[in-house]
Amino acid sequence: MTHALDDADPLAPLRDRFVGTDSRLVYLDGNSLGRPLTVTAERLGMFVEDEWGDRLIRGWDEGWFELPLTLGDDIGRVCVGAAPGQVAVGDSTTVLLYKLMRTAIAARPSRTEIVIDRDNFPTDRYLAMGVAAECGLTIRWLDVDTTSGATVEQVAEAVGEQTALVALSHVSYRSAWIADVPAITRVAHEAGALVLWDLCHSVGSVPAELDAWEVDLAAGCTYKYLNGGPGSPAFCYVAERHLDTFTQPIQGWMGNTDPFLMGPDYVPVQGIRRFLSGTPAVIGMLAIQDMVALIDEAGIDAVRKKSEQLTSYAVELADEHLSPYGVTVASPRDPARRGGHVTVHHPEMQEVVTTLWKRDVIPDYRDPGGLRIGLSPLSTSYDELERGIDGIRQVLDGL
């Protein structure tokens, strides 16, 4: 089926490069796990036969050893506005956030507080609580509107001379609220604090300008809009101005000055490599490379424009077809303040999502009563979105 909006979409032809987009399944959960690219399926087989199977251990000297940094530079250039030498790929998001939190705390040894919002992603909150307990710090919680997120004014009121770290998300996982990163970062810096931004729900969908915004630290996952696959390694950003003095707490051989010397002492290598710990997940980086290349081809600004148009259409359809059933939009209505998904609320949404999955319509659910419509700009069509909204309507009509 064709749709007038798809016919007019300059990025629509790129949808054919993803596995499964020719099926009738409606996939509205790309903000949790992105579809794989067909080129990745081919590449993985070639990798097993050629690079791994033929080159074997020689692969480390032929590109694998540098891949966390070369791919990091690509992510920095294409997606997050970071000059080379500041982004590295490796570990899970949780491990990297832990490293960066401990790094920031160590860099502000006389300070005693971490500022974070109560509606941040659970991992971020749990890590902050754990780091605070380890280091004898206090959490200063921000109580935010769950249909939006942390504001500049809230952060300004919370930070002070005891603030070591402010840890927030660029895009809220629940509401899709886009934080004012440059303004919040300036407010934290004026108080002498460092700022750590979680980019998990923005990278690959909402552009960032980490260098221009003077961000200190950032981390993000790669299995959502970067389509790296389940469990693909995350990435971290450390601003160049900090690289000579910041160290991280998980001292592994890949972050040592000479990993293959196998010497008795750990001496952190210069540059972003010092934030690596163990052997990098080479296979896990292959799909990320393919998706970053596709975003580069499309242009991150064009991706963002398509994202705004998709989410605006989702809000329009929800207002027209779902509001008669008592559904409300629990995301910002201003597309400039909204990331790549739209959350709609109804008390029975958990039951609705369970039924939808049985009908091959795949959104996701977040308490309390939130159905998230995740829209990947390069793989989601307007027709698919419209069929998904109609599926939600049909289930609500049968309640």
Which CATH number applies to 45-295? 3.40.640.10
Strand-pairing partners, residue 235, are 89, 220
**CATH number for the 4-30+299-397 domain, one of 3.90.1720.10, 3.40.50.2300, 3.90.1150.10, 3.40.190.290?**
3.90.1150.10
* Residue 121 is among the residues annotated as catalytic for this protein: yes
Half-sphere exposure of 316 (CA within 13 A, CB side): 10
Pairing of strands 361-362, 26-27: parallel
Give me the numbers of helices (H) and strands (E) for the chain, helices first please.
Answer: 11, 13
Residues with Cβ within 8 Å of 27's Cβ and at least 6 positions away in sequence, in order, are 20, 35, 362, 379, 380, 384
Pairing of strands 217-220, 163-169: unpaired
**Alpha carbon distance 9, 382 (integer Å):** 9
Helices 300-317/282-298 angle, 10° precision: 80
Residue 384 backbone dihedrals phi, psi, to 5 degrees: -60, -45
Q: Which entry of 304, 338, 372, 393 is annotated as an active-site residue?
A: 372
Catalytic site residue 365?
Answer: no
Q: Which of 47, 55, 121, 313 is catalytic?
A: 121
Cα(207)–Cα(80) distance, integer angstroms: 6
Tokens of 183: 């303004």
Single out the catalytic residue among 9, 117, 198, 216. 198
Cα of first residue to Cα of last residue in the chain, in angstroms, is 28
Alpha helices by DSSP H, the chain = 4-7, 38-46, 67-75, 93-107, 122-135, 152-158, 181-190, 282-298, 300-317, 349-358, 382-397
Question: Is there a contact between 366 and 372 (Cβ–Cβ < 8 Å)?
Answer: yes
Cα gap 120→146, rounded to integer Å: 10
Q: Which of 98, 173, 223, 237 is catalytic?
A: 223
Cis peptide before 368 (omega within 30 of 0): yes
Give CATH 3.40.640.10 domain extents, the chain.
45-295
Tens digit of each residue's pLDDT, the chain (399 residues): 458 999 999 999 999 999 999 999 999 999 999 999 999 999 999 999 999 999 999 999 999 999 999 999 999 999 999 999 999 999 999 999 999 999 999 999 999 999 999 999 999 999 999 999 999 999 999 999 999 999 999 999 999 999 999 999 999 999 999 999 999 999 999 999 999 999 999 999 999 999 999 999 999 999 999 999 999 999 999 999 999 999 999 999 999 998 888 889 999 999 999 999 999 999 999 999 999 999 999 999 999 999 999 999 999 999 999 999 999 999 999 999 999 999 999 999 999 999 999 999 999 999 999 999 999 999 999 999 999 999 999 999 998
pLDDT tens readout for residues 309-349: 999 999 999 999 999 999 999 999 999 999 999 999 999 99
- Tokens found for residue 345: 């609320």
Q: Write down the residue that tokens 């020689």 correspond to.
A: 58
SS3 78: helix
Reported as half-sphere exposure (CB side, CA atoms, 13 A), residue 256 has a value of 14
- Residue 48 has a CB neighbour count (10 Å cut-off) of 12
Q: Is 224 a catalytic residue?
A: yes
Residues of the chain with CATH 3.90.1150.10: 4-30+299-397
Helix or strand holding residue 344 (H, E) = strand 341-345
Q: What is the pTM of this model?
A: 0.97
Tell me how far apart the alpha carbons of residues 131 and 138 are, in angstroms, rounded to a whole number: 10
Alpha carbons 327 and 344: distance in angstroms, whole number: 6
From the list 224, 274, 366, 393, the catalytic residue is 224
Residue 168: φ, ψ to 5°: -140, 170
Annotate 273-282 with b (16+ C-beta within 10 A) or e (fewer). bbbbbeebbb
Query: H-helix or E-strand containing 169?
Result: strand 163-169
Contact 116, 139 (CB under 8 A): yes
Question: Contact at 8 Å (CB) between 322 and 352?
Answer: no
